Amino acid sequence: MTAHDEWMTAGRFGAETLLSAKALRIYAARGMLQPRRVDESTGYRYYSADQVPTGWLIALLRSADLSLDRIAAIITAAEDDPAAAVALLDDAIQAMHRRNESNAVVLTRARLHLTKETPMFAVETAIEADRPVMSVMRRMAPHEMDEVIHTEVGRLRDLAARNGLRPTGDPFGVFHAPVTDDSDGPLEIVLPVDGLMDEADGVRSYRLTGGQVALRHAEGRETFFPEILALYDEVHAWIVDAGATPVGPPREIWHNSPRDDEPLRLTVAWPFAGGNV
């Protein structure tokens, strides 16, 4: 390589890798693809020819809508352990397949929403009495939910035992705001117990008001995000079609831990009032 060819300007490098100047700045800032040299007087950025394969790899991964965090992990692994990078890429492929399947379920539900067709699902109703509960508020991303729920339910159970209280039902979550890719809640994690206690460590103790609830049971794939959003739409549509009014935020009752080896079993529960039920 001659001295003239040793360095590539950012413009030339971008042209060879189909990466825009904006993208190159983002990747440099995140440590994924930094220029090998920056001219102190002009601020011009220069890349070397051996960085072109990395640029193309990033372009390919980004075109598949992989997150920058996932791409960074693959690029970092590729520098030291190509086999590990391939394993991460295989994980990304499987995650994308699962996401595509989930998206198909949600879009099918959206079609039913538009056509007003009645799907074959079973919504049950129940009347809940007022009951004492203990709870904690948490904010989280969808991929953090399983771990946060498992940890906080365990903490609530331990705190109940230390205060001489016994659980009277399965734990559940009250969604005061959605937990999606665009919203982090908050989610109130609740454990029904047989009495009240002094509030401590951010844990509330109060009597939860009872009333009518619409229930939709789910297991396995139906409990995955974003497929579970279709269940919430089903329950909401059932309440409205029955001439009733949804009241209060919806809930998820967890019949086993999301960290168990067996598939998660849960019930979407939405309080409602009125209607011909």
- Better-scored residue on pLDDT, 192 or 185: 192
162 with 260, same domain: the answer is: yes
At residue 265, φ and ψ (nearest 5 deg) are -120, 130
* Structural domain contains residue 87: no
* Structural domain contains residue 119: no
What the block records as the tokens of 111 is 């079609």
* Structural domain contains residue 129: yes
134 with 16, same domain: the answer is: no
Out of 81, 111, 144, pick the residue that ends a domain: 81
Question: Tell me, what CATH number does 232's domain have?
Answer: 3.20.80.10
166 with 247, same domain: the answer is: yes
Predicted structure pTM score: 0.65
Which contacts (CB < 8 Å, 24+ apart) does range 163-167 have? 163/197, 163/198, 164/195, 165/134, 165/193, 165/194, 165/195, 165/197, 166/193, 166/194, 167/191, 167/192, 167/193, 167/194
* pLDDT, tens only, 64-91: 888 898 999 999 999 889 999 999 999 9
For helices 68-80 and 52-63, the axis angle rounded to 10 degrees is 150
128 with 199, same domain: the answer is: yes
Q: What is the amino acid identity at position 131?
A: R
10 with 132, same domain: the answer is: no
* pLDDT, tens only, 224-270: 877 788 888 889 888 988 899 999 899 999 999 888 889 999 999 99
Asked whether residue 1 carries a pLDDT value surpassing 50, the answer given is no
* Structural domain contains residue 225: yes
158 with 62, same domain: the answer is: no
136 with 214, same domain: the answer is: yes
56 with 133, same domain: the answer is: no
- Give residue 260's domain range: 124-273
Res 4: pLDDT: 44
Res 196: pLDDT: 96
* Structural domain contains residue 102: no
76 with 170, same domain: the answer is: no
* pLDDT, tens only, 47-62: 999 999 999 999 999 9
- Give the count of domains, the chain: 2
Question: Tell me, what CATH number does 62's domain have?
Answer: 1.10.1660.10
196 with 261, same domain: the answer is: yes
Q: What number of CA atoms fall less than 13 Å from residue 114's CA on the CB side?
A: 5
